[in-house]
Amino acid sequence: MTIIDIKHLDKRLREITDPFGTGFPIVKKLFAEAAHKHDLTVTGLVRKYLAWKWSK
């Protein structure tokens, strides 16, 4: 997974209005689809995303 892929995922996640409430199923779906696309586990993808986001 490249930085460009992570940025694309971040853009899609920021469009969700209530990511930890009613929008959480959408967040789960986005992470699951991206993990499947890049042959990663969901937890591995979340770690990569958070590490990238934390470094900003």
- Rounded to two decimals, the pTM is 0.90
DSSP state of 18: -
Q: Residues 6 or more apart from 53 whose CB is under 8 A from it? A: 10
Show the tokens assigned to 21. Answer: 């409430």
3-class secondary structure, 40? coil
Whether the per-residue pLDDT at 4 is higher than 90: the answer is yes
Q: How confident is the model at residue 8 (pLDDT cuts 50, 70, 90)?
A: very high
pLDDT at 56 over 90: no
pLDDT at 18: 95
Per the model's pLDDT, the better-predicted residue between 56 and 35 turns out to be: 35
